[in-house]
Amino acid sequence: MNETELVKIAIEARQEAYAPYSGFGVGTAILCEDGRVFTGANVENAVYGLSLCAERVAATKAVSEGCRRFKSIAIIADGPTPCPPCGACRQFLAEFGVETLVIMANTNGDVRKAKLKDLLPLAFTKEQFLNE
């Protein structure tokens, strides 16, 4: 699957965003190393701290289905610039590979790409925790 296809899947996933408070719908698609794709959309809550970002929704779906290594993730939102993952999502995604390619896009067609390790330098990973 190429990057353009992954962004298109994220665009479709964004249609399911539940963002009644911010109005900022986000969609994402994760390509696992085994070729499977998992999608997510943000889910807000009246208690804002309980809201879930699209990236963590897709990642938990992937992990719950046995995927432990992410090849790439596409993230899309309607903003003036491509949508990067928040800090919490960067750390969450790092658990499954800092080499993951992050494809950030907006609904205007702007795209930016970076490796997760470049978006989260010196990430705390299981290798440090487990002394591996």
**Which residue numbers in the chain have pLDDT < 70?**
131-132
Domains of the chain: 3-129 (3.40.140.10)
Tens-digit pLDDT profile for residues 40-54: 999 999 999 999 999
Q: What is the pLDDT of residue 131?
A: 66
**Per-residue tokens: 43:** 């889910």
pTM: 0.95
* Distance from C-alpha of 62 to C-alpha of 31, rounded to nearest angstrom: 9
Q: State the catalytic residues.
A: 55
Q: Tell me whether residue 41 is exposed, middle or buried, using C-beta atoms within 10 angstroms of its C-beta: 0 to 12, 13 to 18, 19 or more.
A: buried
What pLDDT does 128 receive?
77
